[in-house]
Structure 1
């Protein structure tokens, strides 16, 4: 799937939040979409990616950010916000799926 296929909530909650910190972080979430067949799979994989990035070592971050990693505290703050946004997105999806 392409990022254009994501709902507004998912796009802004994940990609939009990532872009506030770093285009390279946004790129990681954008590339992820091509490995997914639907939005729910994207959300699940984005959550896994976010948790892996929180645990990443500095040498891993150096590679992920093409030799220019952001400040670790700023990165973790952004990743925490993305996780919060993912929870909100999941709640929106639950409401949509339970509506008649």
Structure 2
């Protein structure tokens, strides 16, 4: 399982550990990923995703999982999130059309 946020696409970054003597050694900075269960109001079900804490705050700021998915670019989303986005868009179109 890769260490990438399923909603924001945030992944690892590479940098240096710098000692007091200014010696530099390579290291990686990993995002703070959490396994969370988010509720989709349109689909009326829970979805389990691996999301960074930054992404989780962003979802809450936008107004929930459904709003986040509809505004997000497909290139940032994981395959699971893209499928979920398609389901939400269809359900929302069916609800507004009926």
- When normalised by structure 1's length, the TM-score is 0.28
- When normalised by structure 2's length, the TM-score is 0.28
- Greater fraction helix: 1
* Bigger relative CO (Cα 8 Å, ≥ 6 apart): 1
- Greater fraction strand: 2
